[in-house]
Structure 1
Amino acid sequence: MTQDSPRSVTVERISTGHFVATNARGATITFGTSSGAHGDSAFTPVELLLAAIGGCSAADVDVATSRHAEPATFSVAVTGDKVSDELGNRMTGLRVAFSVTFPDGEGDGADRARTILPRAVRTSHDRLCTVSRTVEIGTPVTVTIEDS
């Protein structure tokens, strides 16, 4: 096992149901608790989870394939079902679907990228993507209240 440096974000409340997450490098993303109610288009925490799963795998696959050829199209659809049952609220049936094409006539590079695409997707899922690996394996989450 390799020990990597800790990762962290800070989440602060902006207003009722609206939050901003800030990473250690100062980048921010706003999100909210509503699902489009009252015209709110902010991502929900569940949508951020789906984006993190898709983004993590997309980055892995992009690194592996784009060194051979620039993709003509590259998108990742991540879906799942939100359920509430005796285990509480959670997501089930998570699916990650890649849609990647490389231009015809680009020579060996595009052919090589097409050839390694399935392996790159599989390797991301089976070993590389920290987000989906953490979800699949399951990691306990400790919640505390800090003294203010």
Structure 2
Amino acid sequence: MSDATPAPQHGPTSVRLERTGFAEFRITNARGAEITIGQGEGADFTPVELLLAAIAGCSAIDVDHIVSKRAEPQEFSVEVQGTKVRDEDGNHLTDVAADFALGFAEGETGEQAQEVVPRAVAMSRDRLCTVSRTVVLPTPVDFTLADGRSV
């Protein structure tokens, strides 16, 4: 990482969600950035789309750190898909898959960068990407009320 790149964040992380209308919410992070979400009737992202975006974004950042040391990508996209199902386990996603497309300029540095892409993607999947690792691993999520009661 360069000196201009912020250090990775470790420890507690949080966002705040506030209702702006029926099934519409604004999410704010500690740095003041905002996004809006809804249930898919408007242009806003749905929570499931944000989860897929978080998987893509987290892994893309990991891969970018690794491959950009060798060459600047000329093409870099990640498409993440999943299938929403309702079964005996409740509502959830199945068949989540991330498809990486990276391209580099011709030449030795471009070839070196292209060669490291599979290893970089595997490292992100297996160890680096906090989001996909959290989805893959058993991760309890506690729900509480404002008065501290667990539900």
TM over 0.5: yes
For residues 55-93 of structure 1, what are the alpha-carbon distances to aligned partners after superposition, in whole Å with 9 as ceiling and x for unaligned? 000000011111211111110000010000111100011
Residue in 1 aligned with 2:115? Answer: 115
Residue in 1 aligned with 2:127? Answer: 127
Residue in 2 aligned with 1:61? Answer: 63
Residue in 1 aligned with 2:74? Answer: 72
List runs of 5+ in structure 2 lacking aligned partners: 1-9
* Counterpart Cα distance in 1 of 2:105 and 2:37: 36
Residue in 1 aligned with 2:4? Answer: none
SS in 1 for 2:113: helix
Note the C-alpha offset of 1:109: 1.8
* Counterpart Cα distance in 2 of 1:22 and 1:41: 18
Residue in 1 aligned with 2:147? Answer: 147
SS in 1 for 2:83: strand
Aligned identity (percent) is 53
Note the C-alpha offset of 1:138: 2.0
* Counterpart Cα distance in 1 of 2:104 and 2:77: 12
The amino acid of 1:123's aligned partner reads: M
Note the C-alpha offset of 1:24: 1.0
The amino acid of 2:62's aligned partner reads: D
SS in 1 for 2:105: coil
* Counterpart Cα distance in 2 of 1:140 and 1:53: 18
Note the C-alpha offset of 1:96: 0.5
Note the C-alpha offset of 1:142: 0.3
* Counterpart Cα distance in 2 of 1:87 and 1:110: 45
Mapping 1:12-31, distance limit 5 Å:
12-31=18-37
Residue in 2 aligned with 1:136? Answer: 136
List runs of 5+ in structure 1 lacking aligned partners: none
* Counterpart Cα distance in 2 of 1:80 and 1:138: 18
Residue in 1 aligned with 2:3? Answer: none
What is the total number of aligned residue pairs between the two structures?
A: 139
**What is the TM-score of this pair, normalised by structure 1?**
0.90
The amino acid of 2:92's aligned partner reads: R
* Counterpart Cα distance in 2 of 1:131 and 1:5: 14
**Cα RMSD between the aligned structures?**
1.3
**Runs of 4 or more off by more than 2 Å in structure 1?**
none
Residue in 2 aligned with 1:51? Answer: 53
